[in-house]
Amino acid sequence: MSNISPFPNPYNAQVKPLEVSEQANTTMTYHGGAIAANGRVIGRIKDWTPGKFERTVTEVREVSNSTWGVPVDNVPGIASGYTVSFTRTEVWQQELETVLGYNSTWTSLCDQTKPFEAFEYLYRGSTPYRVWLYKGAWFTNKSPNGWAADGNGIIEVACEFAYVVRHKVAG
């Protein structure tokens, strides 16, 4: 899955990709990104934040008159931080669960009965620059935004999922 179609919108709103050349745009930008799950563009993603990668490192010390109080080695331990947080603007009849392939919205996270795969696309101009695949994804939280009399009226959902492994597919 190296090229995907953009999520449709009723006005066919589009922008031309930034031109890429030796003279233009050497700074990496996220102008041109997409998120897809199980082969379908999720669309209307407002923000996408992969969790920070962490790893425990245990210092090894010894009882010695020449090294007492200072580490003599480090032992790397378990890795953690395999999560992605995102906010999505919901679309009528295309709620997040429906786009992920479920027949209806969930009453609770226990309604997720199978893991999903998510692709993260970063484009340089109109060419895919880097593609990540998140496998074995399960939602750890899903929080619809609140409604307010002075709000903007947009229904969004903030989510986080945990995944088993992330693979670089391209780039």
pLDDT reported for residue 165: 93
Give the type of residue at 72: V
Q: Which two tokens stand for residue 23?
A: 């003279």
What was the pLDDT predicted at 60?
94
Quick one: pLDDT at residue 19? 63
- The structure tokens listed for 30 are 């996220």
The pLDDT of residue 3 is 46
CA–CA gap between residue 80 and residue 83 (Å, rounded): 9
Alpha carbon of residue 52 to chain centroid: 12
Q: How far apart are CA 7 and CA 41, in angstroms?
A: 6
Domain segments of the chain as ranges: 33-52+79-170
pLDDT of 1 reads 44
The Cα 7–Cα 43 span in angstroms is 5
User: What six digits make up the tokens of 92?
Assistant: 């009528």
Backbone angles phi, psi at 86, to 5 degrees: -155, 160
Note the pLDDT tens digit of each residue in 98-124: 888 888 899 999 999 999 888 888 887
Per-residue pLDDT of the chain (171 residues; tens, 9 = 90+): 444 555 566 666 666 666 666 666 666 666 666 777 777 777 788 888 999 989 999 999 998 889 888 999 999 999 999 999 999 888 888 888 888 888 889 999 999 999 988 888 888 777 788 889 999 999 999 998 888 888 888 899 999 999 999 999 988
pLDDT of residue 18: 63
Per-residue b or e along 114-135, where b marks 16 or more CB atoms closer than 10 Å to that residue's CB: ebbbbbbbbbbbeebeebbbbe
Annotate the chain with DSSP letters as a single string: ----PPPP-TT----PPPP--SSS--S---SSEEEEETTEE---EEEEEEPPPEEEEEEE----TTTTTS-SEEEEEEEE--EEEEEEE--TT--HHHHTT-SS--SSGGG--S-EEEEEEEEETTEEEEEEEEEEEEEEEEEEPPP-TTS----EEEEEEE-SEEEEEE-
* pTM of the predicted protein model: 0.78
